[in-house]
Amino acid sequence: MMETSDLSSLLGLLCPMFVLVDEQGQITSVGPTLQKLRPEQPMQGQGFLDLFELVRPRSITTTAALLSLAGAKLHLKLRDEPRTALKGLVAPLPGNKGAIINLSFGISILDAVRDYALTSADFSGTDLAIELLYLVEAKSAAMEASRSLNLRLQGAMLAAEEQAFTDMLTGLKNRRAMDVLLGHMASGNAPFALMHLDLDFFKSVNDRLGHAAGDFVLQQAARIMEEETRSDDMVARVGGDEFVIIIKGLIDQKVLCSIAGRLIDRLREPTIFESETCKVSASVGIALSTQFSTLKAAEILKAADQALYDAKRSGRSRYSFFSPTAGSITDPPSLQGSPQPRPGISGQ
């Protein structure tokens, strides 16, 4: 008769999820793949019925009854967690020397992959489990490729949306983004202020030094406006040299005066482009959401534009608040700083 070690080696090749038990039901050898289900718990030397619970047939509770089931199919579960379900086939050895229990077709392929990371290398080359594993692996690869593609598509969509709402010259939000946020703010209950800012004497920079200088001035102005506002506020370029700032949750006129004053002071500071001095200033019109009983986006934009017009008419380089009853209110120059002359640059 074949030696036990030789039999175990042969079974390991043909059905690597085998269990070899003696006549007392003690495990004398176990297939390498089956042992992977409990890598820290050697099965050899333990009782088969101590490791495995028979689900069907339920009447089998002894080793003798188990060994009598020649050719019978068993439904089993491991007794400890995870309680993987298995199916087995009993093949008694000659001379009542025990039995071979083949579990090769018994494990769920999903359990094999999820709980034990088994691969095709863990099964016999003729085992149907290999075909199922190939399908599972192919499905996993396809799902991973699909997830990767979806992530790339989502990233591309986000990038496209961001680009659609961004002014490419300054990096600020554009008119479309401003319209979306302003519509949302106008329909909500949270108070906010809207500043309409226009660069004074900007056309003179373009005419004297060219559009490259004008672009540089716009970029510097955008940087200043972002530095003087909070991250939750929106700064948008809505025209050539026109900007809108939406300041969320703030309607305190004293604070708004301070913000507008800092913007005007910093924007009137000369900038240097290719050794040439560029001088502009800024006029600001301010409207508050609380000035309207029924707020519409177009109304507050119009109000801020009217206040901006009054600031320009009053001498530029200043700010003005919209007043629903008395027209716009422009603070005196003593509160803002007097408009600065622009030597060598004509006004607009």
User: Catalytic residue numbers?
Assistant: 241
Q: Where are the domains of the chain?
A: 4-111, 175-336
Helix pair angle (297-313, 175-187), 10° resolution: 120
pLDDT for position 122: 62
Closest to 90 in 3D by CA, of 42, 45, 114, 57: 57
Q: In this predicted model, what pLDDT tens digit does every residue of 135-169 receive, in sequence order? A: 556 666 677 778 877 888 777 777 777 778 899 99
pLDDT at 86 over 90: no
Pick the range with the lowest mean pLDDT from 106-115, 124-133, 168-177, 338-347.
338-347
Residue 304: pLDDT band with limits 50, 70, 90: very high
Lowest mean pLDDT among 8-12, 31-35, 97-101, 107-111: 107-111
Instruction: Report the amino acid identity of residue 187.
Output: S
The model's confidence at residue 239, banded by pLDDT at 50, 70 and 90, is: very high
Q: What is the pLDDT of residue 346?
A: 30
Place 285 in a pLDDT band, splitting at 50, 70 and 90.
very high
User: Does residue 50 carry a pLDDT above 70?
Assistant: yes
Q: Which residue has the higher pLDDT, 162 or 280?
A: 280
pLDDT in tens, 92-118: 888 788 888 887 656 666 666 666 677
Whole-model pTM: value is 0.54
The CATH number of domain 4-111 is 3.40.50.360: no
Is residue 18 classed as helix, strand or coil in its secondary structure? strand
Domain 4-111 matches domain 175-336 at the CATH topology level: no
Q: What is the mean pLDDT of residues 53-71?
A: 81
Neighbours of 288 (CB within 10 A): 23
Residue 326 pLDDT greater than 70, yes or no: no
Query: What's the CATH code, domain 175-336?
Result: 3.30.70.270
**Average pLDDT, rounded, for the chain:** 82
SS3 for 343?
coil
Please name which of 55, 53, 54, 26 lies closest in space to residue 42, comparing C-alpha atoms: 26
Lowest mean pLDDT among 85-89, 242-246, 286-290: 85-89
